Amino acid sequence: MIINTGARTDTVQYYTTWLLKRFEEGYAYSRNPLFPNKVTRYELTPEKVDCVVFCSKDYEPILADLETITSRFPTYFHYTITAYGTDVEPGAPSIEKRMETLERLSALVGKQRVAWRYDPVLLTDRYTVETHLETFERMARELSPHVDRCIFGFVEMYKRLEKNMPELIPLTDGDKDALARGLGEIAARYDLPIQTCGASGDYARYGINPSGCMTLDMVGKANGIAFRKLKHKGLREGCQCMETRDIGAYDTCLNGCRYCYANKHPEKSLENFKLHDPDSPLLIGHLKDTDTLQQGFQKSFRVGA
């Protein structure tokens, strides 16, 4: 089984103490987002977890203690660094700071375990096609020696985004083609493997791999692990990623990214953050008398398991 620590919230950036304690104590509770009274317990032990996957916009808070996890578990790290400033990603560190931290992360865990996410790609009057390509080249020049690959995806135009970002300019097929062609050419110049995420289209003609952004093949090669050949449904249409179990919670991230799918209301995240107890097995709050606690199904994906 693969444990995902960052699909629902940025646990690394805002809940580091809790995350480290969960792995120290060897278990965590996860509340079902659709059925809030259902809570699942997951064992966080090397015997039950094939790999721990991280996704964050700032690994600085965990670097000093990261070895307590990496020394016991196979791991893979997604680091999101985009072209946007605080007008779009209010809580994220600067581009320069994130690039510096990525290089330190890579030195600690090995470049084969680090993926740079340039995602989502969106357009406004400030963030044009040209701006994206200029910024991406600057980043690729700096980051290519330190990462396994770059993963990008075009923003999904879900309804809430129209309210959160009224300045958003819908991407045309021509925009997507120009961006994909430019990103592919830049990546090739720096010998940087590049791929799409989700249903972002097929741009293999530009040297862009259409693979999923979190596959057994990817984490297996990074850690020298042989996984069984399995088909996974993914998280949404067009997704080719493997099945994971997330120990985070929605509406808890304080980054306030205006394109975020995991936070419906920024004010709700602030309210939930106040309920966080680093000593609780749950990310937010505690187990209630009305909750039903069940043991999670944790079957290994490894060959021979």
How many other C-beta atoms lie within 10 A of the C-beta of residue 195? 22
Kindly report the backbone phi and psi dihedral angles of residue 105, in degrees, each rounded to the nearest multiple of 5, phi listed first.
-60, -45
Torsion of CA 108, 63, 47, 8, to 10 degrees: -120
Domain assignment of residue 149, yes or no = yes
Q: Looking at this protein, which amino acid is placed at residue 143?
A: L
The answer to whether residue 83 is domain-embedded is: yes
Q: Which residue has the tokens 């289209």?
A: 201
- Residue 304 in any domain: the answer is no
- Is 305 inside a domain boundary? no
Backbone angles phi, psi at 70, to 5 degrees: -65, -25
pLDDT of residue 200: 65
Q: What is the pLDDT of residue 248?
A: 95
Percent of the chain with pLDDT over 70: 95
Tell me the two tokens of residue 276: 């966080």
Please give the order of strands across the beta sheet that includes 27-31.
27-31, 38-43, 292-295
Tell me how long the chain is: 305
Whether the per-residue pLDDT at 241 is higher than 70: the answer is: no
Q: H helices within the chain, ranges in order?
A: 11-14, 16-25, 67-70, 95-109, 129-143, 159-164, 173-189, 216-223, 266-274
Q: List, in sequence order, every residue forming a beta bridge with 150; answer none if it has no partner.
A: 116, 194
H or E segment and range at residue 116: strand 114-121
Q: Is residue 275 part of a domain?
A: yes
235-261: average pLDDT:
81
Summarize pLDDT for 134-152 with one digit per residue, the tens: 999 999 999 999 999 999 9
Q: Does residue 101 sit within a domain?
A: yes
Q: What's the pTM?
A: 0.94
Is the confidence at residue 168, as pLDDT, over 80? yes
pLDDT of residue 233: 60
d(CA 141, CA 144): 6
- Res 183: pLDDT: 98
3 has a pLDDT exceeding 70: yes
Q: Of the given ranges (57-61, 173-177, 239-243), which has the lowest mean pLDDT?
A: 239-243
The per-residue pLDDT for 299 is 92
For helices 129-143 and 95-109, angle between their N-to-C axes, nearest 10 degrees: 30
Determine the pLDDT at residue 211: 73
Is the residue at 60 inside a domain?
A: yes
CA dist 138 and 110 (Å) reads 22
Single out the residue of 160, 238, 158, 225 nearest to residue 197, CA to CA.
238
Residue 213 or 182, more confident: 182
Q: Give the count of domains, the chain.
A: 1
Using CA atoms, how far residue 136 sits from 17, 59, 192, 258, in Å, is: 33, 20, 12, 20
In a domain, 155, yes or no: yes
Q: What is the pLDDT of residue 202?
A: 86
Range of the domain at 97: 2-295
Write out pLDDT tens, residues 86-127: 999 999 999 999 999 999 999 999 999 999 999 999 999 999
First-to-final CA distance of the chain: 11
Tokens of 40: 């699942």
Question: Is 80 exceeded by the pLDDT of residue 159?
Answer: no
